[in-house]
Structure 1
Amino acid sequence: MKQMIKIIRKVDIEKQYEEVLLLEMDYELASLYVAMNEKNKNEMDKSKKRLIEIQEELNGLHAYA
């Protein structure tokens, strides 16, 4: 029974983490949009790099699903 509770808690934590990552992805996409409109290459590169990191983290979470 204790193991079942641990598994459920872990799933809940992972789901919350995924939701945070999705919110962060939305923010980075908005930042990228602004940077593109301003033609700010440094900010575009920063946003793209973070978006790739977020994608890799999300893929890692889904690999165990």
Structure 2
Amino acid sequence: MKQIVKIIRKVDIEKQYEQVLRLELDYELASLYDAMNQQDEIQKAKSKKRLAEIQRELEGMRAYA
């Protein structure tokens, strides 16, 4: 029974982390949009890098699902 509870908690934590990543994804997309409008090359590069990291994390989570 303890193992089942542990697995359920792990799944809940992973779902919460995925939600956080999706919120961060939205934020970075908005940041990228602003940087593009302001022609801020440095911020564009930072946003693109973080978006790629978020994508890898989300894909990694799906690989274990």
Corresponding letter in the other structure for 2:23? L
Question: Which residue does 2:51 correspond to in 1?
Answer: 51
Per the normalisation by structure 1, the TM-score is: 0.98
Count of aligned pairs: 65
Cα distance in 1 for residues equivalent to 2:3 and 2:63: 21
Question: Which residue does 1:17 correspond to in 2?
Answer: 17
RMSD: 0.4
Percent identity for Structure 1 against Structure 2: 71
Per the normalisation by structure 2, the TM-score is: 0.98
Higher relative contact order (CA 8 A, sep 6+): 1
Shift of 1:61: 0.7
Cα distance in 2 for residues equivalent to 1:29 and 1:20: 14
